[in-house]
Structure 1
Amino acid sequence: MSSAHFGRRLRKGAVNTTVAALAVAALAASQAPDVTAGGVSGSGSGQTAADTPAAADASTDGSATGNSPYYTDLPPLNSPNPAPSATTSPVGTGSSEAGIPATVLDAYKKAEAELAQSKPGCNLPWQLLAAIGKVESGQARGGNVTADGTTITPILGPVLNGNGFANISDTDNGAYDGDSTYDRAVGPMQFIPSTWAWAGRDGNNDGKKDPNNIYDAALAAGHYLCRNNWDMSTTSGMRSAILSYNNSTDYYNTVMSWLEYYRKGTHTIPDGTGTVPSDRSDDDTSTPSTPSTPGTPSTPGTPSTPSTPSTPAPTPTDTVDHLENAGSTTKLTAMAGDAFTTKVSTRAETAAGKAVAKVRVRFTIVGDTDLAFAGGESVATVATDSKGVAVAPALQAGEKTGTFTVRATIVGRTITAVDYKATVTARAADALARTADTALTCVAGGEFADQVEVKATYKGAVADKVAATATLVKSADDPTANDKGPYFKDASGNPVRTLTDLQTDADGVLQLPKLYADDTAGTYLLRITTTGGATLTVELTVTAAASTTPDPTPSESSSTSPSPSADAGTGSSESADASASASASASGS
């Protein structure tokens, strides 16, 4: 750390305190990995993370703040006291510095909670947001915010016109920073407009993404720090994240010192009563003019010739005339849920067609889609290589199908964008097979004992979440639904012979509901089809029910047969009638 930087950090009456705090920062720096994000000292260099070797990570967007100036005040030596009670007031500077305005602290903690759900692998502590908020704006200028978290007066960084700072031409037409010529960092977390355009979040659920609102800004800062799958529980992850916010080793050390301080304890103070820092990293950016060396006086009446101001050399970005498709992205197609195998690549060129290296190309996914770059972001910014080519991170298809646009633009220049079409097709299967080989049989009027279960695959791999349809067809050649034979039941218990809106599970398995049989025996076909053309026909057998007519019983047989006694009685009567007839005939003669 330079002696000049030491000098501007030593505050009157707090020399010993500051030196001790610098030791904390040095300790934090000693825990960092060997690779840094460029080792840029100070924020006025104009060098961004995207221009440095260690910033080759595809999603680095220079910095959230455009490397704007920041507060260099360091925490006091003594550790924070516990929160003051109702009868006591904070004692000493440490307790005062440890206090964070109520609304600001609430915003940090809400952002931490949201990221614990949306990006649990990031392990973002709210104290990191508090440390950055302290360094960027003094906790929104001591908590000078309204009840909903919006700053009462705008917090704007200096004009980024290249005069001691980065040179960033206007990207928002002054919508956020009020400057239609150059950009300025905006709000309590000091986002430049071009970064806020894709990183902005609605942290207080009011339907707006406002960089001047601490809830919105804190949540946006958290997501910005957590991109690229950086893990804040690791030294390397946290270092990369902080340096991506403002690419300065001194900035990193300052943030780390406040992070460690807040981790030791803090408490809530009323909004508007926080301590506002006084020392900034740009305090020594203006160099006093050097007195001219005394010499021979000029001839009276002869005016001195004014020096011609030097014309600043054009930056690589200034030389870019157009973007070209780098050639390997003529067709971008992936199935829902899969990663695209081809990456978007763009070449930056001068008017003469010469490659331009070290310029930032921003890739933006346009439209209503859940298509995303690796890491879940919809925007990625990549520096061109020595051949002028920037390659975007791999695209990950979501569940929404259709054709969407990936747009490439130059950061800091308004030139014609290059659009790429990315098509997401529905999840598909190309093969279906039963998971069991048992015969599927049922007696007429009954129900099948086994449910039909199949597994879908695509090119040999599990085909999960694939749409399917099951139909009891009339025949192998007639795919229309049958009007007799086996059937499913709907929610009301009515027979149905076609099921739609089916979907395989995470293992590619689909189990159909229970099947029932009507009173018609025979062999029937169940056909299952999926998106992608996979088809499986399953045979179902319905056997006839047993006869309902009972066999005659022995008692019934004996009761219907003529009995001997009855025969005998009948015969005696007939004999008597014959005798009577004969007797009458004899008398008549």
Structure 2
Amino acid sequence: MAAHFGRRLRKGATNTAVAAAVAAALVASQAPGVETDDAGRQSTTGAQPSADTPAGDGATGNSPYYTDLPPLESPSPAPTVGPVADPTATGDAAAGIPATVLDAYKKAAAELREAKPGCNLPWELLAAIGKVESGQAGGGNVDADGNTITPILGPALNGNGFAHISDSDNGAYDGDSTYDRAVGPMQFIPTTWAWAGRDGNGDGVKNPNNIYDAALAAGHYLCRFGWDLSVEDDLHSAILSYNHSTDYLNTVLSWLEYYRKGTHEIPDGTGALPANRSDDPDRSKPATQKPSPKPRTDPPSPKPPTPPSGGDAGSPTPQPPTAPQTPTDTVDHLEDGGTAQLTTMAGDAFAERVSTRAEGKDGKGVAKVRVRFTIVGDTDATFAGGEKVATIVTGTAGVAVAPALQAGEKTGAFTVRATVVGRSIPGVDYTATVTARAADALARTSDTVLSCTAGGEFAEQVGVRATYQGAAADGVAVTATLIKSVLDPTENDKGPYFKDANGQPVRTLSGLTTDANGLLTLPELYADGTAGTYMLRLTTEGGATLNVPLNVTAAETPSPTPSETTDASASPSASASPSA
């Protein structure tokens, strides 16, 4: 949430008591809280959000946000052409979204439709969050590339009225080397941007101060855990994961509904700016122009009283009270929670899951600690739901179990790293390995004898089925080689052959792959002029081997026809002499 915009604040609509009452009625229902199960999916059952909810893993760190509600007037469903004479009277100023900002929302939603079609992310949700977080990037205070002209920074998360999140980026994003702050038009804290950041404008940089980058990152953030945002419970869970507050949820939902009724594009820099913030001491007052809020300062620590003259100098000096420790504060280290070997084939789910235990100095498990699991390395493996980061809260034994790992197509080793959210203590690394897709058996799909005459073409193509432990082995690489014999697997230099793209004979084919049913049909086979029995060998990753006999018979010599015989006998002999 921005501490201030540095621009003239404009009221979007008259904020009467009636308007406030009706708007409040639109969002009066209480939203459910968010809990994270051991699969890494957040559900909407359980306790309501509260002030002591850990903030270190939300998008904004539960930073303040703007609480202004939409005006009562529904926005125009069609774009407005030309300037609005009195936008504060019609509500059009609130409905209008600056051109570059609106473009960023729509492009992000379009990309999510391709990347995660099951999420059903509406661009209006990004607009609603952008309105609540930064007033649409400070009324569209961005340049043509989407970069904010004036930095949008939330207050220092120093624990004084806010969450306590110590600096994690050395001030690289927020300019604060002591505490973290929410950054940019979508108000990401640096610890979240570090893994959730995206390059939305294709410039090769992930910049939280760019509306295209921030909107795309917000879209991916909202589409975690396989959430379907067309389902109410999933929609609520996603919004609460952005900022864990029921009031925040209701405010975003009110703007979502408002934008769904219609909106229009307005020039950059002309958007209406909100005025009320969630950390205002009296949020019941009408929206008015406010000066930038002053930085909060901690109250001075109470000084111990001076013992009276002649008093007991040995009396203990009163000490100021200390803040109570959170479970996260008591974690001394992380331990492996009993994770077995992590190995699977490409395309398969890992049978084992990463398990980590948070322990105190006494070696006992610490409950209610957020453990972040991050996939590190050159891999396309993900957690269930398609994400590379998942955060799980430890149970009563101090154990957090990561969501199931899903292998991609890249083979090799990668790392799953477990760390404590909000603490700078060493993490625990787990090595996971993805092996190539394999088959342990190959069989022909036909028992027809394969034969042809020398110089001809085999009438039937070779078809095979690959299996692994009895199940169809899909996507398995197969190599086909015409060998000299079962005992000599050297590539043959005569007999049957395949043809390459130029029609030239080849006797080894690699890069063949079984289909979804484990089936593979080889290209056509041809025979040169050499008759005999030959062998085709098929091999796969995993050790499956199949030898297929090929018979090439000699071409038959055609017998002379009767007419050819008669003609030959009637011809005069070359040695005969003419009669006398």
TM-score normalised by structure 2 residue count: 0.86
1:406–1:422: 8 Å Cα contact kept in structure 2?
yes
Q: In structure 2, what is the equivalent of residue 85 of structure 1?
A: 81
**Pairs within 5 Å for 1:305-454:** 309-329=320-340, 331-454=341-464
Shift of 1:387: 0.6
1:253 equivalent in alignment to 2:250: yes
More displaced, 87-96 or 537-546? Answer: 87-96
1:46–1:165: 8 Å Cα contact kept in structure 2?
no
Moved over 4 A (4+): 27-30, 32-37, 551-554
Distance 1:358 1:488 in 2: 64
1:69–1:157: 8 Å Cα contact kept in structure 2?
yes
Larger gyration radius, structure 1 or structure 2: 1
Name stretches of at least 5 consecutive residues in structure 1 with no aligned partner. Answer: 1-10, 50-60, 288-298, 300-305, 574-589
2:99–2:266: 8 Å Cα contact kept in structure 1?
yes
Shift of 1:431: 0.7
Distance 2:165 2:46 in 1: 20
**Pairs within 5 Å for 1:517-528:** 517-528=527-538
| The one of 187, 203, 206 aligned to 1:209 | 206
1:230–1:238: 8 Å Cα contact kept in structure 2?
yes
2:44–2:234: 8 Å Cα contact kept in structure 1?
no
Could you list the per-position Cα deviations for residues 520-577 of structure 1 after superposition, in whole angstroms to 9, with x for gaps in the alignment? Answer: 1111110000111111111111111111463674524653699xxx99x98xx8xxxx
Q: In structure 2, what is the equivalent of residue 26 of structure 1?
A: 28
Distance 1:103 1:557 in 2: 95
Q: In structure 1, what is the equivalent of residue 476 of structure 2?
A: 466
Distance 1:239 1:188 in 2: 21
Q: In structure 2, what is the equivalent of residue 503 of structure 1?
A: 513
More displaced, 313-322 or 20-29? Answer: 20-29
Counterpart code for 2:49: V
Shift of 1:72: 0.6
Distance 1:491 1:22 in 2: 70
Residue-pair matches, total: 526
Shift of 1:195: 0.7
Distance 2:281 2:84 in 1: 40
Q: In structure 2, what is the equivalent of residue 290 of structure 1?
A: none
Q: In structure 2, what is the equivalent of residue 39 of structure 1?
A: 48
Q: In structure 1, what is the equivalent of residue 63 of structure 2?
A: 68
- Residues 169/46 of structure 1: CA separation in 2 closer, same or farther (3 Å cut): farther
Distance 1:233 1:188 in 2: 25
CA-based RMSD: 2.7
Distance 1:309 1:250 in 2: 35
Could you list the per-position Cα deviations for residues 133-168 of structure 1 after superposition, in whole angstroms to 9, with x for gaps in the alignment? Answer: 111111111111111111111111111122111111
Counterpart code for 1:152: I
Q: In structure 1, what is the equivalent of residue 305 of structure 2?
A: none
More displaced, 486-495 or 70-79? Answer: 486-495
Shift of 1:445: 0.9
Distance 2:14 2:517 in 1: 68
Q: In structure 2, what is the equivalent of residue 294 of structure 1?
A: none
**Pairs within 5 Å for 1:46-57:** 46-48=52-54
Could you list the per-position Cα deviations for residues 30-71 of structure 1 after superposition, in whole angstroms to 9, with x for gaps in the alignment? Answer: 9x9994564225xxx24137xxxxxxxxxxx74211111111
1:108–1:126: 8 Å Cα contact kept in structure 2?
yes
Counterpart code for 1:19: A
Q: In structure 1, what is the equivalent of residue 16 of structure 2?
A: 14
Shift of 1:328: 2.5
1:154–1:212: 8 Å Cα contact kept in structure 2?
yes
Shift of 1:27: 5.7
Counterpart code for 1:422: A
SS in 2 for 1:413: coil
1:137–1:155: 8 Å Cα contact kept in structure 2?
yes
Counterpart code for 2:260: R
2:84–2:92: 8 Å Cα contact kept in structure 1?
no
Counterpart code for 2:28: A
SS in 2 for 1:539: strand
SS in 1 for 2:347: coil
Distance 2:44 2:416 in 1: 32
Q: In structure 1, what is the equivalent of residue 158 of structure 2?
A: 161
Q: In structure 1, what is the equivalent of residue 7 of structure 2?
A: none
Counterpart code for 1:24: L
- Residues 34/401 of structure 1: CA separation in 2 closer, same or farther (3 Å cut): closer
1:428–1:532: 8 Å Cα contact kept in structure 2?
yes
Shift of 1:85: 2.5
Counterpart code for 1:146: D
SS in 2 for 1:26: coil
Counterpart code for 1:40: P
1:219 equivalent in alignment to 2:216: yes
TM-score normalised by structure 1 residue count: 0.84
Distance 2:498 2:544 in 1: 22
1:152 equivalent in alignment to 2:181: no
| The one of 175, 178, 203 aligned to 1:178 | 175
Distance 1:85 1:201 in 2: 33
Distance 1:114 1:35 in 2: 27
- Residues 28/107 of structure 1: CA separation in 2 closer, same or farther (3 Å cut): farther
More displaced, 83-92 or 365-374? Answer: 83-92
Shift of 1:16: 1.5
Q: In structure 1, what is the equivalent of residue 130 of structure 2?
A: 133
Distance 1:174 1:356 in 2: 31
Name stretches of at least 5 consecutive residues in structure 2 with no aligned partner. Answer: 1-12, 35-41, 283-294, 297-307, 309-316
Distance 1:278 1:88 in 2: 21
Shift of 1:170: 1.8
| The one of 493, 506, 516 aligned to 2:526 | 516
Counterpart code for 1:508: G
Distance 1:475 1:184 in 2: 71
- Residues 308/279 of structure 1: CA separation in 2 closer, same or farther (3 Å cut): farther
SS in 1 for 2:59: coil
**Pairs within 5 Å for 1:289-304:** none
- Residues 27/260 of structure 1: CA separation in 2 closer, same or farther (3 Å cut): farther
Could you list the per-position Cα deviations for residues 462-506 of structure 1 after superposition, in whole angstroms to 9, with x for gaps in the alignment? Answer: 111111111111111000011111111112222111111221122
